[in-house]
Amino acid sequence: MASGSVETQADPGQRAADELFNKFEAMIQSGELPDGAPLPPEREIVERYGISRTVVREAILALSNKGLVEARPRFRPVVRKPSFDTALDTIGNVVTRLLEQGEGVKNLFDMRVMVEVALARQAATDANRDDIYRLKQALEENETAINDMDRFFETDIKFHRIMYEMSGNPILPAVHRAYITWLQPNWVKMPTLPSRNQLNFESHTAIYNAILMRDPDQAEVATRKHLADAWDQINRILMESD
Amino acid sequence: MASGSVETQADPGQRAADELFNKFEAMIQSGELPDGAPLPPEREIVERYGISRTVVREAILALSNKGLVEARPRFRPVVRKPSFDTALDTIGNVVTRLLEQGEGVKNLFDMRVMVEVALARQAATDANRDDIYRLKQALEENETAINDMDRFFETDIKFHRIMYEMSGNPILPAVHRAYITWLQPNWVKMPTLPSRNQLNFESHTAIYNAILMRDPDQAEVATRKHLADAWDQINRILMESD
DNA sequence: AAACATATTTTGGTATGATCAAAATACGAG
DNA sequence: CTCGTATTTTGATCATACCAAAATATGTTT
């Protein structure tokens, strides 16, 4: 298995750019380059490390591609501390392409259903008073927004977000954001009607009630129904555009 | 708002390298550059598109960073058709760093539990004869390997993999692979004993039986217990190394 | 003729230096 | 102090060159 005894720690055969990349990655990780700070000018890096600009650019490119810094075309790259969010952002492009083919969207949506069902069950079992309060809050906001398309959209997402947050696992809100980001484009084409808002609000209520009653099975049923409705609507749109 | 009349379709402000990147991405997507094919030499690309090598390199760099091609240091980059697997590979580095801090590993593990519980429940509800046969097959392989550490390890993973595959959703096997890849490093330090293998095999059996009995609740219980055991062992190791 | 060793050519990685346009900054007028 | 303009920085791109490793061609041995 092991190949040699070259002990430059990781892999010695790496290019200079990789080495620089690692240095910056470490600096970002350690906070020496705080979140939001701009990277030094390329030429400065060049002389500080005694390497060519080519290498510097490639390293920065890599940082950018991996989401460790945000680099708008002509601007100084800005540090973005890595998080699960940025990690998911990084693969956004690729995922988007993947979704375009075959059952892509359906598969991702199914994953979402799976996760949300699990969250609902978990909530029904474990949610504490505070969680439930927050959920209720969101539900009420949702209700007051039934006639305001934009706000309903927002509060709808928020209700779900709280479900993800209730898990207490910081990975899950990131997953939620990813679902939103990746599935949204398929949603927006959908004409929103107040009647649909009303329906969705009722679905949310059903989920909330099931959680309140500490009934995982009911929470699952309500969640499935809610998402199945949503899928129906999406699906109808997708069919039309084919 | 709108700046100019530069109509390079999408967003004109992109760098030359991005443009080239997109071209290659399209070629990969369309199969014009089939999976496994090496990219043309840099200098050839240079003259074909009339751009500088800098740009070519940056574009290739980006392809590499995003996982669309695989580029070992001194070798010609090789096309790797994007898939959920490669997408997850892409963020592997970052995720690994993220896991190192705080409750990272625990959080990812909890996600895994959540997903596998959902899979087990789903399997108990939906698994068809063929699925169950494959699972049984894996279970038997698992049993015969109890005294062979390496093979047990393999068959252990395979058992779980089949659970992920049974979902019929191609995203899930990719997720499984990601879990394995990201959590593995924390596992390997763990001394494996035949007695532990025996225990794990029994856990697998319990899950299998619950699915066979079409009992989602029992499938959930068995899965939770199995993974909780695994976590106990991991945790013990992590504690020691602190 | 096949296998192997060696000489050539190709090609990726890196370094320099230069140019251009846009961004950042300094500066001066109102 | 604010705003517009002149300077300076700086990112993006290009052209060229060199080196070492990889790919390939060539010749030698069995």
Q: Where are the beta strands (DSSP E) in B11-161?
A: 69-70, 78-79
pLDDT, tens digit, 9 for 90 and up, residues B226-239? 999 888 887 776 66
Is residue B186 a part of any domain in this protein?
yes
Domain that holds residue A31: 16-81
- Rounded to 5°, the CA angle B89-B93-B97 comes to 140
Closest-approach residue (CA) in chain B for A122: B114
Using CB atoms within 10 Å of the CB of residue B204, give its burial: 0 to 12 exposed, 13 to 18 middle, 19+ buried. Answer: buried
| Number of structural domains chain B divides into | 2
Angular region, A102: left φ>0, alpha ψ -120 to 50, beta rest: left
Is the same domain home to B162 and B69? no
Cβ atoms within 10 Å, residue B21 = 23
B76 CB inside 7 Å of strand C = yes
What is the rounded CA–CA span in Å between residue A173 and residue A160?
10
Confidence of residue A15 (pLDDT cuts 50, 70, 90): confident
Residue A130: phi, psi to the nearest 5?
A: -65, -45
Select from B63, B82, B101 the last residue of a domain.
B82
Summarize the confidence of residues B73-102 as an average pLDDT.
Answer: 84
Average pLDDT over residues A94-111: 86
pLDDT at B11 over 60: no
As a whole-number percent, the residues of chain B with pLDDT over 70 amount to: 90
Is pLDDT of A4 > 80? no
In three-state secondary structure terms, A39 is coil
Q: What is the torsion angle, in degrees rounded to the nearest 10, for the CA atoms of residue A160, residue A166, residue A167 and residue A168?
A: 130
Contact between residue B85 and residue B177 where contact means Cβ atoms under 8 Å apart = yes
Instruction: Name the residue among B15, B73, B111 with its Cβ closest to that of A73.
Output: B15
Q: Which two tokens stand for residue B103?
A: 């409750």
Contact B169 A107 (CB under 8 A): yes
* pLDDT score for A6: 30
Residue A172's pLDDT is 94
Give the residue from A81, A102, A134 where a domain finishes.
A81
The integer distance in angstroms from the CA atom of B47 to the C1' atom of D29 is 42
Long-range contacts of B184-190 (CB under 8 A, 24+ apart): B185/B96, B186/B105, B186/B234, B186/B237, B186/B238, B187/B234, B189/B237, B189/B241, B190/B233, B190/B234, B190/B237
Reply yes or no on whether the pLDDT at A176 is more than 90.
Answer: yes
**B71 strand C contact, CB < 7 Å:** yes
Residues 222-241 of A with CB under 7 A from strand C: none
- Distance from C-alpha of A76 to C-alpha of A41, rounded to nearest angstrom: 7
Please answer yes or no on whether B122 and A108 come within 8 Å at the CB atom.
no
pLDDT tens-digit profile of B173-203? 999 998 998 888 777 666 667 778 888 899 9
Provide the residue type at B206 as one letter. A
Q: Please tell me whether any atom of strand C lies within 7 Å of the Cβ of B48.
A: no
Which phi and psi (to 5°) does residue B112 adopt? -60, -45
Where does the pLDDT of residue A88 fall: very low under 50, low under 70, confident under 90, or very high at 90 and above?
confident
Which two three-digit tokens encode residue B141?
């392989």
pLDDT at site B10: 34
B58 is near strand C: CB distance < 7 Å:
no
Compute the Cα dihedral for A16, A22, A25, A27 and give only its sign: negative
Going by C-alpha positions, the residue among B128, B21, B117, B104 that lies closest to residue B66 is B21
Please say if the pLDDT value at position B2 is more than 60.
Answer: no
Please report, rounded to a whole number, the percentage of residues in chain A having pLDDT higher than 70. 89
B203 and B120 housed in the same domain: yes
Same structural domain, A46 and A104: no
If residue B103 lies in a helix (H) or strand (E), which one and from where to where? none
Q: Please tell me whether residues B125 and B220 are part of one structural domain.
A: yes
Best probe of the A interface among B19, B81, B171, by most A CBs < 10 A, is B171
Residue B94 has a pLDDT of 82
CB count in 10 Å sphere of residue B66: 20
Are the Cβ atoms of A90 and B90 closer than 8 angstroms? yes
Express as a percent the part of chain A with pLDDT over 90.
Answer: 46
Q: Which residues of A touch B (CB under 8 A)?
A: 13-15, 25, 29, 54, 57-58, 61-62, 65-68, 73, 82-84, 86-88, 90-91, 93-95, 97-98, 107-108, 110-111, 114-115, 117-119, 122, 167, 169-172
Does B49 share its domain with B93?
no
Quick check: is B195 in a domain?
A: yes
The secondary structure of residue B226, as a DSSP letter, is H
- CATH code at B77? 1.10.10.10
pLDDT beyond 50 at B1: no
- pLDDT of residue A8 exceeding 50, the answer is no
Distance from CA of A107 to the nearest CA of B (A): 6
Can you give the CATH number for the domain in which B200 is found? 1.20.120.530
B52 CB closer than 7 A to any strand C atom: no
